[in-house]
Amino acid sequence: MTARGILSRRELLGAGVAGVGLMALGGCGPSPQRRPAAASSGAGAIRVASMAASTKDTLDPAKGAMATDYVRHYMLYSGLTSIDDDSLRPRPALAESFDSDDRITWHFRLRRGVRFHDGAPLTSADVVHSLRRHNDPAVASKIAAIAAQFAEVRADGRYGVTIRLTGANADLPTLLAQAQFLIVKAGQDHPDGTGTGAYRLAQFEPGVRTLVVRNREYWIPGRPHLEQVELIAIPDETSRVNALLSGDVHAIHAINPHSLPRIEASGTCEAVVTPSSLYTNLIMRQDHLPTSSPDFVQAVKHMLDRPLINRALFRNTAMLGNDQPVAPVMPYFNRELPQTVLDLDRARWHVRRGGLNGLRLPLYCSPAATGSVDMASILQEYGSQVGLEFAVNRVPADGYWSTHWMRHAMTFGNNNPRPTADLVFSLFFQSNAEWNESGWKNERFDRLLTEARGEADEVRRGELYGEMQRLVHDRCGIAIPVFISLCDGYDKRLKGIKPIPLGGFMGYRFAEFARWED
């Protein structure tokens, strides 16, 4: 009896473990029966799980900070412009047209007949209010730094808005498509979800869920296709994947590439991999020794095994990086730049020339910067082969950005996809930028940045950005091993999904395009 007790328990456990193993190997056939979309209502009601939710969740687009916020805000509100496909070019949205002669003063003509969810018509007053509030410190806008370039925002009649910038910026229409610039109702200091978006708010409980229903008077005829979307968050990745496979949710955000085989083997779900300009980078401070030595920087760049990082950390879903922040999917990517490859002889030569042999240096990594812990271990291994000794310091994610990031000679950063090359360069590479991660100073780069921002000629602009990428690639103390792709999972009955490189979930806007087909 006792023996049988053990046996049956072992068998049970064994069966469970075998089940996991089989699923991982893709050996299990798809489950024959599937649950219908959201048990409570009819077809076209879906449940979507994002990665994180907390009491920070907000209905205020200006405060949006996480994927869950962006998805919610894009469902409820619309922007002046929008980015609808992988060309990443801005298209007119609430603004039916926009133009500028000098890229300093911009005129936007608003679409007429657009109504907020409460029936009020959209006018220039709403747009002026929505844009001006970013410059009020009390609003605590996430993009106050970008909005600081608005010298003046004024109404130009009932359906016209004029924005005057502090300096020329050809990217303004792209910037205005960002989630934080979505248009809220005039007079609302704390937006309550009343927007002009494809869905109306039915229920909002911070940290728990957001429920929206189709807006039948949406200003784009024929959209959206879903009746109801329930947005929740499942922070635990395994639980999120399980919820998709069991049919409890119909779309999930941010899958670990190592879970992709489980999803592909299910037969009922599929993964969508979005190439993006998200990257985790190694920062070598230019105001510390020895990281300021050009030989040190070159040695490190040549001892990064990029294909290994791509394979081991990201199951080959990532794109190789070339130590500059413009990803191959972005406009103005410089194709002529030679790819830096693993070259230990060259790294050794740089180490010897710089007199760095036998150097011992702490390297700070954290789960806060995706993949940095593994990257640090790989670097440590190759470092020992070229005569550099890296001491890997793994620090907790909590508080990493305020206490470690950029504060030691070698740390890791993690930068989200930005919609324009200008934005990533001005935020992280301009000499006087607050997050000039490596602390490098390059006058020519700064000059090119300002010039490119106001340049109207696309070809010339491409050349300028091309040269800036070369400067960063050659001189900057930043190593970018790979651009990380974003993996989402969908129920196969959800159609109309395609990658938009700005972020997962079709640049957070999938709810507008998705259809449900049984």
Partner 1 sequence: MTAAPPTRSAAARLLPMIAGRIASSLLTLFLVSVVIFVASSLLPGDAAQELLGQSATPAQIAALRHEMGLDQPGPVRFVHWLGALLHGDPGVSFVANMPVSDIIANRLPNSLLLAAITALISIVLALTIGIASAINRGGRIDSALNIATLSLVAIPEFLIATLAVLAFSVKLLWLPSISLVTPETGWAETLRALALPVLSLTCVVVAQMARMTRAAVADQLDRPYVEMARLKGVPFGRIVLFHVMPNAIGPVINAMALSLSYLMGGALVVETIFNYPGLASLMVNAVTSRDMPLLQSCAMIFCATYLALMLVADIVAILANPRLRA
Interacting residue ranges for partner 1, rule: CB under 8 A? 1-2, 5-6, 9, 13, 16, 19-20, 23, 28, 31, 33-35, 39, 49, 54-57, 65, 137-138, 140-145, 205-209, 232-236, 238-239, 242-243, 245-249, 398-399, 401-403, 435
- Residue placing its CB nearer to partner 1 in the complex, 41 or 385: 41
Nearest distance, CB of residue 57 and partner 1, angstroms: 8
Nearest distance, CB of residue 34 and partner 1, angstroms: 8
Q: What does residue 107 show for φ and ψ, rounded to 5 degrees?
A: -115, 130
| Residues 161 and 97 sit within 8 Å (Cβ to Cβ) | no
Nearest distance, CB of residue 48 and partner 1, angstroms: 12
Nearest distance, CB of residue 253 and partner 1, angstroms: 14
**Cα–Cα dist 111/131, whole Å:** 17
Could you give the C-alpha distances from 296 to 288, 355, 385, in angstroms and in order?
Answer: 12, 9, 15
- Residue placing its CB nearer to partner 1 in the complex, 277 or 334: 277
Beta strand residue intervals within 307-399, DSSP E? 319-320, 359-365, 388-394
Nearest distance, CB of residue 147 and partner 1, angstroms: 11
439 sits in the region (left: phi over 0; alpha: psi -120 to 50; else beta) called left
Nearest distance, CB of residue 414 and partner 1, angstroms: 10
- Residue placing its CB nearer to partner 1 in the complex, 152 or 398: 398
- Residue placing its CB nearer to partner 1 in the complex, 51 or 497: 51
Q: Beta 209-214 vs 228-233: how paired, if at all?
A: antiparallel
399 sits in the region (left: phi over 0; alpha: psi -120 to 50; else beta) called left
Residues 6+ apart with CB under 8 A from 481: 280, 281, 282, 304, 306, 309, 310, 320, 321, 375
| Residues 314 and 307 sit within 8 Å (Cβ to Cβ) | no
Helix pair angle (294-302, 344-353), 10° resolution: 160
- Residue placing its CB nearer to partner 1 in the complex, 202 or 456: 202
Nearest distance, CB of residue 251 and partner 1, angstroms: 14
Nearest distance, CB of residue 292 and partner 1, angstroms: 24
- Residue placing its CB nearer to partner 1 in the complex, 65 or 320: 65
Helix-, strand-, coil-residue percentages of the chain, each rounded to 5: 35, 20, 45
- Residue placing its CB nearer to partner 1 in the complex, 143 or 342: 143
Q: Beta 45-50 vs 251-252: how paired, if at all?
A: parallel
- Residue placing its CB nearer to partner 1 in the complex, 17 or 120: 17
Q: What does residue 275 show for φ and ψ, rounded to 5 degrees?
A: -65, 140
**Cα–Cα dist 199/510, whole Å:** 12
